[in-house]
């Protein structure tokens, strides 16, 4: 085994470790969720909508990573949303925190072992599409996995058939039926006027993109750019879970060298605070239709 393969193997988790985490959670709560929600920066308020909820700080959960980013509370919350049992991640994990890709995606396989069937992923993203406004919500119809181009795919290494097949299809990564339900729900909730549909591109971060990089991403067909989501989606689809992705456009990326605008995390959190209630209402009502 070469050094690269050895390093990849050492970073991976065994089926038994995932199962230990899932079994511990199942023993701590009577909730048996079919839907998991992964909350992006500033969007952890989705978990506050849950009723009959029980929260578990990440550091208390066996084998679980911990979140270190402002705007990510760092706890797993079980409860009912509009009468449906759900589990909600208040804060996710990122490459830029120093985690390897297997740690970033660890919770998704735990969800699968809990009996989850649908994953809703949310994130804060920069708008590349010139027609998008700050505060728009973008339904993710497809993604560009830039870390994957560099070999950072969570499925690299030995494949465990208990989770999924060796070569999963990604042309249907985002469930079209769920997208149609989301559009319908948005119209019903008065959110249709700021709902968009587009392609999400993931970069590793934590630095924001240069002007040249933003111009390149637009040429590649990306409508929004962020630093998360794609690895979780890849693992979810490997496990056969249905996926719905939602990006909150928190800022417009800079593509003009004469511009004095600068991307910053504080702006991201301010925008999510002002629009998060609309996103929460959309997800809350959507849950009842899944």
Give 260-273 pLDDT, tens digit per residue: 676 666 766 666 66
Is-catalytic flag, 236?
A: no
Q: What residue ranges in 155-232 does DSSP mark as E strands?
A: 195-202, 224-226
The active-site residue out of 41, 136, 247, 276 is 41
Q: Judge whether residue 258 has pLDDT over 80.
A: no
| pLDDT at res. 284 | 86
228 is a catalytic site residue: yes
Q: Note if 106 is an active site residue.
A: no
Which DSSP symbol is given to 42?
Answer: T
Using CA atoms, how far apart are residues 248 and 121, in angstroms rounded to an integer? 11
Q: Which domain holds residue 122?
A: 11-287
Residue 208 counted as domain residue: yes
Give catalytic status of residue 153 as yes or no. Answer: no
Say if residue 2's pLDDT is above 50. Answer: no
* Strand intervals (E) in 58-180: 75-81, 84-90, 118-127, 137-145
- 41: annotated active-site residue: yes
Q: Considering only CA atoms, which of 170, 258, 154, 250 is closest in space to residue 211?
A: 258
173 is catalytic: no
If one counts the domains in the chain, the total is: 1
Q: Is the dihedral of CA 63, 65, 66, 72 positive or negative?
A: negative
Q: Which member of 123, 129, 145, 228 is catalytic?
A: 228
- On whether the CB atoms of residues 214 and 130 are closer than 8 A, the answer is no
pTM of the model: 0.90
Q: What confidence tens digit (pLDDT) does each residue in 124-153 have?
A: 899 999 999 988 999 999 999 999 999 999
Contacts with 283 (C-beta within 8 Å, 6 or more apart), sequence order:
37, 46, 81, 120, 122, 246
The stretch 104-118 carries a mean pLDDT of: 97
Residue 147, domain member (yes or no): yes
Please report whether residue 6 resides in a domain: no
Cβ–Cβ < 8 Å for 231, 105: yes
45 belongs to a structural domain: yes
Residue 86: how many other CB atoms lie within 10 Å: 28
pLDDT over 90 at 279, yes or no? no
pLDDT over 90 percentage in the chain = 64
- The reply to whether 169 falls in a domain is yes
Residue range 14-30: mean pLDDT, rounded: 96
Residue tagged 């249709």 (tokens): 192
The CATH code of the domain that includes 198 is 3.40.50.1580
Nearest partner of 187 among 286, 51, 119, judged by Cα: 286
- Spatial distance between the Cα atoms of 246 and 40, rounded to a whole number of angstroms: 10
pLDDT at 214: 94
Active site residue 94: yes
Say if residues 138 and 247 touch (Cβ distance below 8 Å): yes
User: Which residues, 6 or more positions from 169, have their beta carbon under 8 angstroms from its beta carbon?
Assistant: 237
Residue 3 lies in a domain: no
Catalytic residue among 20, 97, 117, 197: 97
Active site residue 158: no
pLDDT of residue 69: 59
Please identify which of the residues 36, 124, 182, 236 carries the catalytic annotation: 124
Cα separation, 263 vs 250, in Å, equals 10
pLDDT at 280: 83
pLDDT tens, residue by residue, 41-92: 667 777 888 889 999 999 999 999 876 655 446 899 999 988 899 999 988 8
Q: Which of 20, 73, 96, 117 is catalytic?
A: 96
Q: Which of 94, 102, 238, 285 is catalytic?
A: 94
User: Token pair 């506050």 is at which residue?
Assistant: 48
**pLDDT band with cut points at 50, 70 and 90 for residue 205:** confident
Strands (E), the chain: 35-39, 51-57, 75-81, 84-90, 118-127, 137-145, 195-202, 224-226, 242-252
Pick the catalytic residue: 22, 58, 67, 72? 72
Q: Is the pLDDT of residue 9 over 50?
A: no
Q: What are 28's two structure tokens?
A: 């701590």
Q: Give CA–CA dist 217/82, Å, rounded.
A: 38
Q: Which among 100, 129, 136, 251 is annotated as catalytic?
A: 251
Inside any domain, residue 162: yes
Mean pLDDT of the chain: 88
Q: Is residue 69 part of a domain?
A: yes
Cα 170 to Cα 53: distance, rounded to the nearest angstrom? 34
Q: Which residue has the higher pLDDT, 255 or 96?
A: 96
**What does the alpha-carbon distance between residue 248 and residue 137 come to, in Å, rounded to a whole number?**
5
Is residue 220 very low, low, confident or very high in pLDDT (cuts 50, 70, 90)?
A: very high
Residue 8, both tokens: 């990849």
Q: Which of 47, 146, 222, 227 is catalytic?
A: 227
Mean pLDDT along residues 282-289: 88
């Amino acid at each position: 085994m070469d050094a690269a393969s050895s390093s990849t193997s050492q970073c991976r988790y065994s089926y038994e470790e995932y199962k230990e985490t899932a079994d511990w959670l199942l023993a701590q709560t009577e909730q048996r969720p079919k839907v998991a929600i992964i909350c992006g920066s500033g969007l952890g308020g989705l978990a506050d909508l849950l009723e009959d909820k029980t929260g578990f700080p990440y550091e208390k959960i066996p084998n679980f990573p911990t979140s270190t980013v402002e705007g990510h509370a760092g706890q797993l919350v079980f409860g009912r949303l509009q009468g449906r049992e759900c589990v909600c991640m208040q804060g996710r994990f990122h490459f830029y925190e120093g985690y390897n890709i297997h740690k970033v995606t660890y919770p998704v396989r735990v969800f699968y072992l809990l009996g989850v069937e649908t994953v809703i992923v949310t994130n804060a993203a920069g708008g590349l599409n010139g027609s998008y406004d700050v505060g728009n919500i973008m339904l993710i119809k497809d993604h560009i996995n830039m870390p994957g181009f560099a070999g950072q795919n969570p499925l690299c290494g030995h494949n465990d058939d208990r989770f999924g097949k060796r070569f999963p299809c990604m042309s249907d990564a985002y469930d079209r039926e769920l997208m149609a339900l989301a559009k319908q729900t948005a119209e019903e909730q008065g959110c249709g006027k700021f709902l968009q549909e587009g392609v999400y591109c993931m970069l590793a971060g934590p630095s924001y993109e240069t002007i040249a990089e933003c111009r390149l991403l637009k040429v590649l067909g990306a409508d929004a750019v962020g630093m998360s989501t794609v690895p979780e989606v890849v693992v979810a689809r490997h496990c056969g879970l249905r996926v719905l992705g939602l990006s909150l456009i928190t800022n417009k990326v800079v593509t003009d060298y004469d511009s004095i605008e600068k991307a910053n995390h504080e702006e991201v959190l301010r925008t999510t605070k002002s629009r998060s209630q609309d996103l929460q209402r959309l997800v809350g009502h959507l849950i009842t239709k899944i």
